[in-house]
């Protein structure tokens, strides 16, 4: 007797263009769901972000957080607005609160060139740039974001914190991912200057000993920025500290078409959040100009992470639909030099799903 597996997905549209791009990703998920045998989805939408703060005084209500904790996965749009800040000047970042409170330590950020037309680099064909930045999500320099500064305004200090547990598990995740890909893993650090990075490198090599089939290397973060531009095809899986991963993933997205095509995941042991790497872009919010591809590709990552044979196949189908859609260089949203609206790009992906 067959039974249907229902996956509960918490949807957090967020701020700015978040609701627009999330709506397109949900349309794609709803369109592909009937083709999955024995699989169904139940979506629940929750208000989180700067807009929610303006309404209730809390950017991450406990009801919404509980929904994230209990869901099988979370699909997030984008959060934060530059003019809505805490008294100390920081923006609202409930997405980081969710990462830390749910211990979503692994942040894979795939970088893939779907079309040569979308890269500013010469001589790179579709598929020739294909690597994943694995960002450590819960430690590093971001742990200083709640620190208080000197009351007299004389100085400010942010501490970069790394633990053995944090380094071991993110390195192990990266090596396990490399084993599924081209079996190369690169540590991006600054071990020539920072003792914390010497510590990270030591643990990287300790974990590497358990994966003798994987080629390893270490690259300083400044050199990595150079090599991304000069020879991105040489990378497979890169693992790095939180802030370095945040910066490098934006640079890497620029190699393949920009932030509008850059998906990401925040993964823990029992829960995961999937979201575009871009921000809320309030200057174009509500105008139908936002690129939904990063969110649609994040939804594909979510399906693969759910690890059901049918969801894995569905994730692959979505990625193939994006690849097929981008074969026509005239079919782009404004951020990629085209004229399609957010909805039209969603329609295009749906047409290729068929």
Average pLDDT, the chain: 95
Q: What is the mean pLDDT of residues 286-298?
A: 98
Largest Cα span, the chain: 70
Q: What is the mean pLDDT of residues 107-129?
A: 97
| pTM of the predicted model as reported, rounded to 2 decimal places | 0.94
Asked whether the predicted pLDDT for residue 1 surpasses 70, the reply is no
Asked whether the predicted pLDDT for residue 104 surpasses 90, the reply is yes
The answer to whether residues 74 and 10 touch, using CB atoms and an 8 Å cutoff, is yes
pLDDT class of 2 with cuts at 50, 70, 90: low
Q: What is the DSSP string of 114-170?
A: S-GGG-SSTTPPTTSSEEEEEEE-SSBGGGGGG----TTSS------B--HHHHHHH
Asked whether the predicted pLDDT for residue 335 surpasses 60, the reply is yes
pLDDT class of 91 with cuts at 50, 70, 90: confident
Taking phi first (over 0 means left), then psi (-120 to 50 degrees means alpha), and beta for anything else, what does residue 52 get?
A: alpha
278 phi/psi in degrees, rounded to 5: -80, 175
Asked whether the predicted pLDDT for residue 20 surpasses 90, the reply is yes
- 33-67 tens-digit pLDDT: 999 999 999 999 999 999 999 999 999 999 999 99
Going along the chain from its start, the domains and CATH numbers come out as 1-104+268-354 (3.40.718.10), 105-145+159-261 (3.40.718.10)
Share of the chain above pLDDT 90, in %: 89
Give the pLDDT score at 156. Answer: 83
* CA atoms of 85 and 92, how far apart (whole Å): 6
The answer to whether residues 9 and 71 touch, using CB atoms and an 8 Å cutoff, is yes
Nearest Cα neighbor of 196 from 244, 237, 150 is: 244
- 200-251 tens-digit pLDDT: 999 999 999 999 999 999 999 999 999 999 999 999 999 999 999 999 999 9
- 133-178 tens-digit pLDDT: 999 999 998 887 766 677 787 888 888 999 999 999 999 999 999 9
Pairing state between β 272-276 and 263-267: antiparallel
Tokens representing residue 143 in the block: 């742990």
pLDDT class of 29 with cuts at 50, 70, 90: very high
């Amino acid at each position: 007797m067959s039974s249907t597996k229902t996956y509960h997905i918490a949807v957090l549209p967020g701020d700015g263009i978040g609701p627009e791009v999330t709506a397109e990703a949900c349309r794609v998920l709803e369109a592909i769901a009937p083709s999955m045998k024995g699989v169904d989805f139940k979506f629940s939408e929750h208000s989180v972000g700067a807009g929610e703060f303006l309404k209730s005084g809390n950017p991450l209500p406990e009801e919404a957080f509980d929904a994230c904790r209990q869901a099988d996965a979370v699909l997030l749009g984008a959060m934060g607005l530059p003019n809505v800040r805490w008294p100390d000047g920081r923006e609202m970042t409930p997405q980081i609160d969710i990462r830390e409170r749910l211990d979503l330590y692994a942040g894979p950020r795939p970088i893939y060139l779907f079309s040569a037309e979308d890269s500013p680099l010469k001589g790179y064909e579709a598929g020739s740039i294909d690597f994943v930045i694995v960002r450590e999500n819960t430690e590093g320099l971001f742990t200083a974001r709640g620190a208080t500064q000197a009351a007299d305004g004389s100085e400010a200090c942010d501490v970069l914190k790394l633990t053995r547990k944090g380094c071991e598990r993110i390195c192990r995740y990266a090596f396990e991912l490399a084993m599924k890909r081209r079996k190369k893993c690169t540590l991006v650090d600054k071990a020539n200057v920072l003792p914390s990075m010497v510590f990270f490198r030591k643990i990287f090599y300790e974990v590497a000993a358990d994966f003798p089939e994987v080629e390893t290397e270490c690259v300083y973060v400044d050199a990595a920025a150079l090599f991304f531009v000069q020879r991105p095809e040489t990378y497979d899986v890169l693992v790095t500290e939180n802030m370095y991963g945040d910066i490098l993933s934006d640079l890497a997205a620029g190699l393949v078409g920009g932030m509008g095509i850059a998906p990401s995941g925040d993964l823990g042991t029992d829960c995961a959040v999937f979201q575009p790497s871009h921000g809320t872009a309030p200057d174009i919010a509500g105008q139908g100009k936002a690129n939904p591809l990063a969110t649609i590709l994040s939804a594909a990552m979510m399906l693969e992470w759910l690890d059901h044979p049918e969801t894995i196949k569905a994730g692959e189908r979505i990625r193939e639909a994006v690849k097929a859609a981008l074969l026509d260089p005239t079919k782009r949203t404004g951020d990629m030099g085209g004229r399609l609206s957010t909805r039209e790009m969603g329609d295009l992906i749906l047409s290729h799903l068929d």
